[in-house]
Amino acid sequence: MTNNDIVLLADPESNAWKMAEEICRIIKEKMGCRIVAVKIKKFRNNEKKIKISENIRKHDCFLIQDSSKLPESWFLETLASLEALKNSSAGEVTAVLPLLLYSRQDRKDESRVAVTAKLVADCISMYANRVLTVDLHAAQIQGFFDVPLDNLYSFPVVVNYLKEKYPDFLENLTIAATDAGGAKLAYSFAKRLEKYGIKPEIAIGSKHRPKEGEVSEFKMIGEIKDRNVFIVDDIIDSGNTIARCAEVIRKGGAKKIYVYGTHGLFTEGFDIFKDVDKIFVSDTVNQASDKVEIISMNPLIAEAILRIATGDSLSQLFD
């Protein structure tokens, strides 16, 4: 490290500040840490001016961004904050982006569209020395960045949480993915559970999507009758796919149906989840509803920041 203290930076008017406070508290149990405010001034025409409120010269800095903000505000404020850190002569700068917005635009899926995930990666790589995120939507995005990207997996935290709070649910369990793209996440959960002697079945959904946000046909491949089913996904946006998946699973004779989505957006509310018994999400996106149960990623992020600062291995977090 260039300095003994870890410096966390966040906008005090955002949800990232609360996250920074909790992460700082955890880190302080092992080494020095302080939080510095990123002040955002807005001009009359809505231009924004970013200022780092304290001297951070030669310190290793971790900019924690609020993924609950509007994507365009998140993008501009991330870049402007990183540029301000560069102008402030910070040491190593890590962009902590709990949810990497625009990550669903990772390929050219139709003619004449922007691969916006690549644009975001190029811009952030100009100013940050490293990026830290949770459950990256598409693994290939790591290759978009010109700086190291550490992708933290939430499934070990979630499995430990379920073992402690809902051990009965883990009996006679099937882990379900809504489509083939989510199968890797489902297998990751299953592999983690096998370390505790629990061997769940895997079920994969097959869907036809006529247009973005709609699902017209849905089938499940795998054992679900008379079993507890845990539907896992990285992002819950409208929730239509998960709701349709839960409906098919319920009709297939499942017992309890729980859902976990790392990043819960819930752009169409919660009424569509009538077949779901319980919804879990992480706190990478702020949640104001009592209809979801929060599994905090702050201890995981704090440990990752500590390991980055001290040069220890991050892969050991998942062993």
Query: How far is Cα 155 from Cα 161, in angstroms, rounded to an integer?
Result: 10
Let me know if 139 is exposed, middle or buried by CB neighbors in 10 A (0-12, 13-18, 19+). Answer: exposed
Residue type, 280: F
Assess contact for 170 and 163: CB atoms under 8 A. yes
**What beta strand segments (E) does 135-283 contain?**
149-152, 173-177, 201-208, 217-221, 228-236, 257-264, 278-282
- The one catalytic residue among 18, 28, 163, 207: 207
**Closest of 133, 290, 162, 289 to residue 232, by C-alpha:** 162
Q: Give catalytic status of residue 207 as yes or no.
A: yes
Q: Which structure tokens are listed for 284?
A: 């990478």
CA dihedral 262, 27, 74, 94 (to 10 degrees): -110
Query: How far is Cα 38 from Cα 254, in angstroms, rounded to an integer?
Result: 49
Could you list the active site residues? 207
